[in-house]
Amino acid sequence: MPLEFFISALVTLLVVVDPVGLAPTFLAVTEGLSAKQRREVALRASLIAAAILIGTALVGDWLLRQLGITLPAFRIAGGLLLFAIAFEMVFAFRMKRESQAAEDALEEHVHHIAAFPLAIPLLAGPGAITATVLLAGQAAARPLAWALLLGVIVLVAAASLASFLLAERIGKLMGITGNLVLSRLLGVILAALAVQYVIDGVRQVWGG
């Protein structure tokens, strides 16, 4: 039934992407940005993630087969890249944003963090991509199911955007000290998550 598929797809992607759970991480990786820049990052990250998941739904399974890329390999690569970001968060190796002369570099940095690590691998990570490929398989040869799946992806991206925008207000309430502590703590959590990605990928390779 279309309604059952819609509910199943929505719940699956919401649980896997976890927009609310990523709100503190958004605050941490955008530390030092202005409110306007954070809104820009939130919008860009949500749009990029939506585009990635929509593309995955349409051609993901075919593309991975053509390139000979396995999901375990994707997990390992995503974990290693995520660990690099976690390292920066824990040891405060963040780019300083304090002079007008650095405006161009800052704008470029804003674009970078919207794509990585927010859009991928946090929003459109291995889990979300895997779930999308599986849901696309269920929707095969059913135009209505395809339309519902694409609608679900848009809804999840919108939920992520809303969560990130609310996270900015929460960050103001927490204050500077709270944000500093949260950044270090989430850096450790992200490092653990990154290692888990690698472990899962290696496990799947050995198991296969």
CA atoms lying within 13 Å on the CB side of residue 42? 27
71 vs 15, higher pLDDT: 15
Q: Supply the mean pLDDT for the chain.
A: 80
Q: Is 0.75 topped by the overall pTM?
A: no
Backbone angles phi, psi at 21, to 5 degrees: -65, -25
Residue 53's pLDDT band (cuts 50, 70, 90): very high
Rounded to an integer, what distance in angstroms lies between the CA atom of residue 57 and that of residue 153?
A: 9
**112-130 burial, b for 16+ CB within 10 Å, e for fewer?**
ebbebbbbbbbbbbbbbbb
Does pLDDT of 98 surpass 50?
A: no
How sure is the predictor about 208, in pLDDT bands with cuts at 50, 70 and 90? low
Nearest in space to 58 (alpha carbons), one of 126, 138, 146, 145: 146
Q: Is the pLDDT of residue 8 over 80?
A: yes
**Of 118, 155, 100, 157, whose CA–CA distance to 30 is shortest?**
118
